[in-house]
Amino acid sequence: MEFPVYLGAASAFRMTFTKFETIPLEEDGMDVNYLEKKLDELNKNGLINRVKFIYTVPNFHNPAGVTMSLEKRKRLIEIAEKYDILILEDDPYGMLRFEGEHLPSLYKLAGPDRVVLLNTFSKILTPGLRIGIIVGRADIVRKATLAKQAADLCSPSLNQRIAARYLERYDLFEQLKPGIELYRKKKDVMIKALEENFADIKGAKWVNPQGGLFIWLTLPEGFDTMEMFEIAKEKKIYYIPGEAFTIDDGKSSSMRLSFCLPPEEKIVEGVKRLREVVEEYGKKKGLI
Ligand SMILES: *Cc1c(COP(=O)(O)O)cnc(C)c1O
């Protein structure tokens, strides 16, 4: 799994698996060299058969906000082929791109023998429907269907029909355009606010995402965003501490900020207050 780890996937995988290897994310996605090194090691130790799949969120990663470059997509596929490992491609945000060029999915590049593609209506229509999409080799999809039936006796057919009628009646891509424009504006407002409030904090950095719903903000070493959250709450600032995106509840100096819901003026005010939070915590801990 990529690190930081998407929480929902980690909890789902935990029901079956006990051991996870995390692969660091870089600005252009998964560190594929690290992945290859890790797999080489496992192979040398005779453990390669234990690797069930490689899980990735290639577009606007949740929470890290980064997107895997085309070059890395190709490298990842090569590595997966070398060791004959399936790739689980999770792409809830791919349609929420507000700038830059659309990149082909791993599924499109490598096909169903190598990649299982997951999608959802949650980020493009409504999360309340609880309808997901799986695209892949027939035998894998059949097994997933059985497992899902065993787990919850199938997603509500009413919800499935609502989603199906929606797709029949409306052009989903057209319907998404105003929303994407809205998110782009809000993202720009948050990035500008971060530049204004955090540029002078040495070691603070953030990812400017080309789509999705989140900005990943990392503070200098020593900050513990879980502990800092107490001060944030007092100032009515909410973020998701980076610790929530670790496998072992490890300390983190990062946090996930969401720009999709609050109106622009609240984003500006929020980032200003977040700066106050960071300053208060940083001074108390002798970090700044
Ligand atoms: C939101 C999200 C999903 C899917 O969420 P559901 O509501 O369960 O469909 C999957 N992967 C990632 C990375 C997400 O952020």
| pLDDT of 158 over the 90 cut | yes
Residue 285 is predicted with a pLDDT of 96
Residue 134 is predicted with a pLDDT of 97
The model's pLDDT over 49-76, given as tens digits with 9 standing for 90+, comes to 999 999 999 999 999 999 999 999 999 9
Long-range contacts of 258-265 (CB under 8 A, 24+ apart): 258/213, 258/214, 258/215, 259/183, 259/186, 259/187, 259/189, 259/190, 259/213, 259/214, 259/215, 260/183, 260/186, 260/213, 262/186, 264/185, 264/186, 264/189
Distance, CA 132 to ligand 1 centroid (Å)? 9
| pLDDT of 92 over the 90 cut | yes
φ, ψ of residue 4 in degrees (nearest 5): -65, 155
Angstrom CA distances, 8 to 34, 226, 245, stand at 24, 19, 10
| Contacts of 79 by beta carbon, 8 Å cutoff, 6+ apart | 32, 35, 36, 39
pLDDT > 90: what percent of the chain? 98
The predicted model gives 13-37 an average pLDDT of 96
Residue 174 is predicted with a pLDDT of 96
Number of CB atoms found within 10 A of residue 172's CB: 12
Task: For ligand 1, atom 12, name the residue with the nearest CA.
Answer: 92
| pLDDT of 187 over the 90 cut | yes
What tokens appear for 189 in the block? Answer: 């407002």
Q: Answer yes or no: is the C-beta of 119 below 6 A from any ligand 1 atom.
A: no
Q: Answer yes or no: is the C-beta of 159 below 6 A from any ligand 1 atom.
A: no
SS3 of 72, please? helix
The predicted model gives 81-92 an average pLDDT of 98
The predicted model gives 165-186 an average pLDDT of 96
Distance, CA 94 to ligand 1 centroid (Å)? 12
The model's pLDDT over 118-129, given as tens digits with 9 standing for 90+, comes to 999 999 999 999
Atom of ligand 1 nearest to the CA of 127: 7
Distance, CA 36 to ligand 1 centroid (Å)? 27
Distance, CA 130 to ligand 1 centroid (Å)? 10
Q: Give the C-alpha separation, 76 to 87, whole Å.
A: 9
Residue whose CB lies within 8 A of the most ligand 1 atoms, among 122, 129, 133, 214, for a mutation test: 122
239 and 215 Cβ atoms separated by less than 8 Å: no
The predicted model gives 152-178 an average pLDDT of 95
The model's pLDDT over 226-243, given as tens digits with 9 standing for 90+, comes to 999 999 999 999 999 999
| pLDDT of 35 over the 90 cut | yes
Residue 95 is predicted with a pLDDT of 96
Q: Answer yes or no: is the C-beta of 129 below 6 A from any ligand 1 atom.
A: no
Q: Answer yes or no: is the C-beta of 64 below 6 A from any ligand 1 atom.
A: no
The predicted model gives 202-222 an average pLDDT of 96
Distance, CA 28 to ligand 1 centroid (Å)? 21
Number of CB atoms found within 10 A of residue 176's CB: 18
What tokens appear for 193 in the block? Answer: 């606010």
Domain ranges of the chain: 2-169, 174-285
Q: Answer yes or no: is the C-beta of 91 below 6 A from any ligand 1 atom.
A: no
Q: Answer yes or no: is the C-beta of 127 below 6 A from any ligand 1 atom.
A: yes
The predicted model gives 266-285 an average pLDDT of 98
Distance, CA 44 to ligand 1 centroid (Å)? 35
- CATH classification for the domain delimited by 2-169, as one of 3.20.20.140, 3.30.70.1560, 3.40.50.300, 3.40.640.10: 3.40.640.10
Residue 288 is predicted with a pLDDT of 87
252 and 225 Cβ atoms separated by less than 8 Å: yes
Q: Give the C-alpha separation, 25 to 67, whole Å.
A: 9
Q: Answer yes or no: is the C-beta of 13 below 6 A from any ligand 1 atom.
A: no
Residue 249 is predicted with a pLDDT of 85
| Contacts of 77 by beta carbon, 8 Å cutoff, 6+ apart | 87, 106, 109, 110, 114, 115
Per-position DSSP letters for 210-235, written without gaps between them: SBSSEEEEEPPTT--HHHHHHHHHHT
| pLDDT of 248 over the 90 cut | no
Angstrom CA distances, 24 to 1, 29, 33, 59, 203, stand at 9, 9, 10, 15, 19
90 and 55 Cβ atoms separated by less than 8 Å: yes
Task: For ligand 1, atom 13, name the residue with the nearest CA.
Answer: 62
Distance, CA 9 to ligand 1 centroid (Å)? 8
Q: Which CATH superfamily is domain 174-285 in?
A: Aspartate Aminotransferase, domain 1 (3.90.1150.10)
175 and 147 Cβ atoms separated by less than 8 Å: no
H or E segment and range at residue 66: none
Provide the pairing of β-strand 23-26 with 2-3: parallel
Residue 52 is predicted with a pLDDT of 96
